[in-house]
Amino acid sequence: MGLTKLNPVEKVINEIYPYFSSITVTTVRFNEATSRYSAQRVVAVEDNPPVPKSVLDGFAVNSEDVFGASEYSPIELEIGKEWKPGVAVYVNTGDPLPQGTDTVIPIEAVKVVGNKVLVFKQYPPGNAVAKIGEDLRKGETIIDKGVLIRPWHVAALASQGIIEVDVIDPKIAVAATGDEIVEPWEGNGVRNSTAWLVASFFRERIGSVPSYHGILRDDEEAIKNFVEVALDKYDIVITTGGSSVGKRDISVKVMEKLADKWIHGVALTPGRPLGIGVRDGKLMVSLSGYPVAALSQLEVVVWPIIKKAHELKEPPRPKVRAKLKRRLPVTPNMLHLYRVVVCSREGELWVEPLRLTGSGILSSLIKSNGIVVAGVRGETGYDAGDEIEVELIGDIVPCK
Amino acid sequence: MGLTKLNPVEKVINEIYPYFSSITVTTVRFNEATSRYSAQRVVAVEDNPPVPKSVLDGFAVNSEDVFGASEYSPIELEIGKEWKPGVAVYVNTGDPLPQGTDTVIPIEAVKVVGNKVLVFKQYPPGNAVAKIGEDLRKGETIIDKGVLIRPWHVAALASQGIIEVDVIDPKIAVAATGDEIVEPWEGNGVRNSTAWLVASFFRERIGSVPSYHGILRDDEEAIKNFVEVALDKYDIVITTGGSSVGKRDISVKVMEKLADKWIHGVALTPGRPLGIGVRDGKLMVSLSGYPVAALSQLEVVVWPIIKKAHELKEPPRPKVRAKLKRRLPVTPNMLHLYRVVVCSREGELWVEPLRLTGSGILSSLIKSNGIVVAGVRGETGYDAGDEIEVELIGDIVPCK
């Protein structure tokens, strides 16, 4: 019993991702693209600004007209609506430079007397002027392929008049399995939390809301039927539960039979019982039924496969280095995902691994403010006092 | 001309936030709560697990029945469906312990012979058993007030059968102002990008999609009408443009007249021309019309006011310390938001401030991978080689 062959995480990622090609791309309006991953490189379609503009409130003049001006011999110009030699035109910030002018004198630097303006120093061409294309040049990249679209990207699309953009929008089908499972709103039994965790993970991470297909009983036909139908319509098909090697572990067997390429068992704890593979470019995943194990599998294996296959550039996560309060054991050749509490004392950061280690123990995530992935470099453990890297998922607390 | 009085950022935040009381709370289904801020403390409504459960596949027994078992004198038990003395009951991972049993023997550790099972060592009570409430105790906090709801919170709600949760869902009205402004999908003129940046900011940050009210002309009646009507229906009313002190800066004047409490001008660059205040507990904001200035105002003033007023616990942002490649000047008593590029060379991180400093220069955000807020502690500048803190908004690149 138990999974006899555990595949290193890196191997699983590298063997599966090249085959995961199916991905839905959706065209959305620019303002709905926030927090989605761009499916294309978007370039500027015009120079911005398209014409020279004033960057402050003042008078647009021709620099030759104020050449030689000084405190002691100011030059007087007429204030006009249009430029001709000897005329200064009032401009607000952002206004295009009037024809014939090439520089802007700040309003604070001049003296206005009736219909005239006195200039007390000379200004070179281009003073307080935003040049054509100073912000964006036509053809320049605004959003690279695979970039997570942030508010400034939306603003850049708007400024260029680009009102649609293609985003990565994987169609994901999720179903729970297990005779003992009930829905959260139902009566007696073990409440389904893992499939909902999976749905929430994708909603948060990629903005695609998975399609939830309910709870399947431990019945080979029912599970096979779900997976086959889902493979037709979705890019990613996920079940929770039934991923190990017992009699009731049906999902993993069903998917294995359907797969072109399949791996079962990963050197990850919690999260060993993972089945993952592809059929016709679509990703099939048999996750653990236990929430912490499933999250670990999503974070460390599934999400990296999606990112690598579709070249998504995820923004950096918050990380700190902190000293271990107690020894952290690492099983050789095994990746460990530890839930920890990071605390601060006299400017030093300390990290305390939570002792709740069950793969179903949700409170270990709720009570933690950090996650440590250990064993990546073949470590066999860390001693108290060793410094390790922690991904922060909550604020650092004072040490007790 | 120009804003004569600039208020320190901390002062603006602390004087405004106590008056911003109006906030809409929406009840959503547990699975739609992802990436929203909880408006309430949510506690466990029952112990989890509610009964003792097996944490692995094996035989549930009464520990007294296997007392004294050893390699050389194994104890034989009958396999049954229900427990009585001398009987072992097969359980799958997650199954409740059968009445009368108190410990679980892993399937790998026994020998099954027909209808009997041989046990080769003694097991204390509680072996491989998850105790009642081991994960969550009734009354224990699952989600604190103001916490950003992550996938494991959703799973915890599901596991507790809690199917609704109240989230912070501020109703936000946004309008652009300016005679020269057109929408991105329209013809000639300066395209509105700032109001869309604002909408995107809130969509990303708080999951509330602002209601967009279009472009208002530089007309006092039109702007006053918008603000008054919006104050009735929304928690936050925002205009972009018209926030400085020129003739066309109407938004700020209109809002000031309506406000119970109002501050104009903040010691922040880019972003000085900010008007912010409250009326009847509602927040009114006159943002700069320039995208980078508006983003700076949102990040450094508006968002902190929202967070403080409603006790939102934002997760940490990714930050690194890096050495300056060149001098970074800081105007005394002024907060500066610099867009920078962080690069890595031989394990050392370096930071290069972008030279594009215009408050409208979107490309300075698109090209940066970090943001530096400088001047918080009264610094007057940093020299090349000084180490400063940078918030990462993109991946660190290799130094050229």
pLDDT digits (tens, 9 = 90+) for A148-170: 999 999 999 999 999 999 999 99
The pLDDT of A97-118, averaged and rounded, is: 94
- The alpha helices in B100-211, defined as continuous H runs, are 151-159, 194-206
The gap from C-alpha A297 to its chain's centroid, in whole angstroms, comes to 18
Strand order in the sheet with B282-287: B211-216, B172-177, B236-240, B282-287, B275-279, B261-264
Determine how β-strand A181-182 pairs with β-strand A190-191. Answer: parallel
In whole angstroms, how far apart are CA B283 and each of B4, B171, B222, B261? 24, 11, 19, 10
The pLDDT of B4-32, averaged and rounded, is: 96
Q: What is the largest CA-CA distance in chain B?
A: 98
A92: closest CA among A126, A57, A140?
A: A57
A158 touches chain B (CB under 8 A): yes
- Using DSSP's 3-state secondary structure scheme, residue B193 falls into coil
With a CB-CB cutoff of 8 Å, which residues 40-69 of chain B face chain A? 48, 55, 57
> What is residue A362's predicted lDDT score, i.e. its pLDDT?
85
**Where does CATH 2.170.190.11 sit in chain A?**
53-130
Question: Cβ separation of A55 and B358 shorter than 8 Å?
Answer: yes
Question: Cβ separation of B185 and A155 shorter than 8 Å?
Answer: no
Question: Cβ separation of B363 and A135 shorter than 8 Å?
Answer: yes
Element (H, E) at B232: helix B220-233
Do residues A305 and A16 make contact, with C-beta atoms less than 8 angstroms apart? yes
Which residues on neighbouring strands pair with residue B282, listed in sequence order?
B279
Question: Cβ separation of A130 and B197 shorter than 8 Å?
Answer: no
Residues B237 and B221: their CA atoms lie apart, in Å, by 16
Q: Is the pLDDT of residue A214 over 90?
A: yes
Q: Among A150-154, A184-188, B16-20, which is the least confidently predicted range?
A: A184-188
Do residues A102 and A53 make contact, with C-beta atoms less than 8 angstroms apart? no
> What is residue A1's predicted lDDT score, i.e. its pLDDT?
44
Closest CA of chain A from B123, distance in Å: 19
Mean residue pLDDT across chain A: 94
Residues B199 and B173: their CA atoms lie apart, in Å, by 9
> What is residue B150's predicted lDDT score, i.e. its pLDDT?
97
Closest CA of chain B from A15, distance in Å: 25
Report whether CATH 2.170.190.11 matches the domain A53-130.
Answer: yes
> Which of A3, A29, A31 to mutate against chain B (most B CBs within 10 Å)?
A31
Question: Cβ separation of A142 and B366 shorter than 8 Å?
Answer: yes
Structure tokens at A298: 């999503």
Question: Cβ separation of B199 and A31 shorter than 8 Å?
Answer: yes
> What is residue B144's predicted lDDT score, i.e. its pLDDT?
96
pLDDT band at B26; cut points 50, 70, 90: very high
User: Cis peptide leading into B270, omega within 30 of 0?
Assistant: yes
Question: Cβ separation of A392 and B153 shorter than 8 Å?
Answer: no
Homologous superfamily of the A28-48+136-167 domain (CATH): Molybdopterin biosynthesis moea protein, domain 2 (3.90.105.10)
pLDDT tens for B268-296 read 999 999 999 999 999 999 999 999 999 99
Name the phi and psi angles at B304, rounded to 5: -60, -35
CA dihedral B374, B376, B380, B381 (to 10 degrees): -20
Percentage of chain B modeled with pLDDT above 90: 84
Residues A193 and A181: their CA atoms lie apart, in Å, by 9
The pLDDT of B113-125, averaged and rounded, is: 95
> What is residue B108's predicted lDDT score, i.e. its pLDDT?
87
Residues B64 and B68: their CA atoms lie apart, in Å, by 9
Closest CA of chain B from A99, distance in Å: 17
Closest CA of chain B from A395, distance in Å: 6
With a CB-CB cutoff of 8 Å, which residues 282-301 of chain B face chain A? 289-292, 295
Instruction: Give Rg (Cα) of chain B.
Output: 31
Residues A397 and B144: their CA atoms lie apart, in Å, by 15
Residue with tokens 């008593």: B333
Percentage of chain A modeled with pLDDT above 90: 84
Residues A44 and A29: their CA atoms lie apart, in Å, by 17
Do residues B291 and B364 make contact, with C-beta atoms less than 8 angstroms apart? no
Q: Which residues of A touch B152 (CB under 8 A)?
A: 197, 291-292, 295, 362, 365-366
Burial class (CB in 10 A: 0-12, 13-18, 19+), A121: middle
A150: closest CA among B191, B201, B290, B291?
A: B201
Residues A83 and A68: their CA atoms lie apart, in Å, by 20
pLDDT tens for B37-96 read 999 999 999 998 888 998 888 999 999 999 999 999 999 999 999 999 999 999 987 788
**Where does CATH 2.40.340.10 sit in chain B?**
319-398
Q: Which residue from B minimizes the CA distance to A148? A: B394
> What is residue B192's predicted lDDT score, i.e. its pLDDT?
95
Do residues A318 and A371 make contact, with C-beta atoms less than 8 angstroms apart? no
Structure tokens at A368: 């933690």
> What is the DSSP annotation of A116-180?
EEEE-S---TTTTEEPTTSSB-TT-EEE-TTBBP-HHHHHHHHHTT--EEEEE---EEEEEE-TT
Q: Number of residue pairs across A and B with CB atoms under 8 Å? A: 221
Question: Cβ separation of B393 and A135 shorter than 8 Å?
Answer: no
Structure tokens at B274: 């900010």
Q: Is the pLDDT of residue A357 over 70?
A: no
Question: Cβ separation of A203 and B315 shorter than 8 Å?
Answer: no
Structure tokens at A4: 């006899």
Do residues B215 and B192 make contact, with C-beta atoms less than 8 angstroms apart? yes
Residues A354 and A366: their CA atoms lie apart, in Å, by 11
Q: Which residues of B touch A37 (CB under 8 A)?
A: none
Do residues A352 and A398 make contact, with C-beta atoms less than 8 angstroms apart? no
Residues A367 and A356: their CA atoms lie apart, in Å, by 10
* Right CATH for B319-398 from 2.40.340.10, 3.40.50.300, 2.40.110.10, 3.30.70.1520: 2.40.340.10
Length of chain B: 400
Structure tokens at B17: 């936030």
Q: Which residues of A touch B318 (CB under 8 A)?
A: 315-319
Do residues B88 and B80 make contact, with C-beta atoms less than 8 angstroms apart? yes
Nearest-10 crossing angle of helices B220-233, B250-258: 50
A51: closest CA among A13, A16, A119, A97?
A: A97
> What is residue A95's predicted lDDT score, i.e. its pLDDT?
85
**Where does CATH 3.40.980.10 sit in chain A?**
9-24+170-310
CA dihedral B249, B251, B255, B257 (to 10 degrees): 50
- Looking at residue B151, the DSSP 8-state letter turns out to be H
Buried b (16+ CB within 10 A) or exposed e, A313-349: eeebebbbebebbeebebeeebbbbbbbbbbeeeeeb
Would you state the CATH architecture of domain B28-47+137-167?
Answer: Alpha-Beta Complex (3.90)
A214 touches chain B (CB under 8 A): no
With a CB-CB cutoff of 8 Å, which residues 333-392 of chain B face chain A? 356, 358, 360-363, 365-366, 392
Candidates A94, A185, A193; nearest CB to B159: A193
* Right CATH for B9-24+170-310 from 3.40.980.10, 3.30.210.10, 3.40.718.10, 3.40.50.2020: 3.40.980.10
Q: Which residues of A touch B155 (CB under 8 A)?
A: 193-194, 196-197, 200, 291, 295, 362
CB half-sphere exposure, A102, CA atoms < 13 A: 13
Do residues A340 and A357 make contact, with C-beta atoms less than 8 angstroms apart? no
pLDDT tens for A54-70 read 988 899 999 999 999 99
- Using DSSP's 3-state secondary structure scheme, residue B150 falls into coil
Q: Which residues of A touch B200 (CB under 8 A)?
A: 31, 34, 150-151, 154-155
Which are the contacts of B348, defined by CB distance < 8 A and separation ≥ 6?
A: B323
In whole angstroms, how far apart are CA A178 and each of A171, A219, A256, B256? 24, 9, 18, 61
Length of chain A: 400
> What is residue B358's predicted lDDT score, i.e. its pLDDT?
63
Number of CB atoms found within 10 A of residue B146's CB: 17
Which residues on neighbouring strands pair with residue A271, listed in sequence order?
none
Candidates B291, B295, B315; nearest CB to A393: B315
Instruction: Give Rg (Cα) of chain A.
Output: 31
Question: Cβ separation of A158 and B193 shorter than 8 Å?
Answer: yes
> What is residue A138's predicted lDDT score, i.e. its pLDDT?
96
The pLDDT of A233-258, averaged and rounded, is: 93
Q: Is the pLDDT of residue B360 over 50?
A: yes
Structure tokens at A341: 């509490």
B349: closest CA among B392, B316, B315?
A: B392
Residues A65 and A88: their CA atoms lie apart, in Å, by 9
> What is residue B359's predicted lDDT score, i.e. its pLDDT?
64
> What is residue A360's predicted lDDT score, i.e. its pLDDT?
67
The pLDDT of B177-203, averaged and rounded, is: 93
Residues A28 and A26: their CA atoms lie apart, in Å, by 6
pLDDT band at A356; cut points 50, 70, 90: low
> What is the DSSP annotation of A280-332?
TTEEEEEE-SSHHHHHHHIIIIIHHHHHHHHT-BPPPPPEEEEEESS-EE--T
Residues B107 and B96: their CA atoms lie apart, in Å, by 16
